[in-house]
Homo-oligomer: A and B are copies of this chain.
Amino acid sequence: MAGNTPLELEKFLPYRLSVLSNTVSQAIAREYEDRFQLSITEWRVVAVLGRYDGLSAREVAERTAMDKVAVSRAVAELMKDGRVRRATADHDKRQSVLSLTAKGRKVYNEVAPLALQHEQRLLAHLDVEEQLWLGRIIEKLLLAEKALGVDRP
């Protein structure tokens, strides 16, 4: 059973996903990193706050799939730039309440269309049927992987 299918990196799903994901993310990142002084992690934070104002850091972490350290640092940076404002939750003084400043909202309003546009240009290469399959398949694989990875050390 060992030498059955030889491992061909170019055909190996995890590898292909990684290459695709990196290629796409980096292409988009290039479009705004220089122009807006915005790292990819900062952008993710701005993106969720633009849509859901007043989240706590933990909620931002959940919605961005970043860990809390990364969120903490992105928020610190964004606050330094005056793009995010932090208050303390009334009902729980440990929690923060994060929101975009006017400056932060302006960035969001400029970058979001750029990102969506890039996505559209990409999806334009797929027909509608393919787009539907893609969405479903990503969802399935993610669930599958999570199922495989339950209770592991």
Contact = CB atoms under 8 A, between A and B. Distances in A.
Given A7-B112, A9-B44, A12-B115, A23 B137 contact: no
A119 interface: yes
Contact of A17 (B10, B21, B130, B140): B21
A1 interface: yes
A137 B141 CA distance: 14
A69 interface: no
Contact of A148 (B4, B20, B27): B27
B115 A141 contact: no
A112 B9 CA distance: 10
Give the copy number. 2
A150 to B, nearest CB: 11
A141 B126 contact: yes
Interface in A2-54: 2, 4-10, 12-25, 27-28, 30, 44, 47-48, 50-51
A145 B2 contact: no
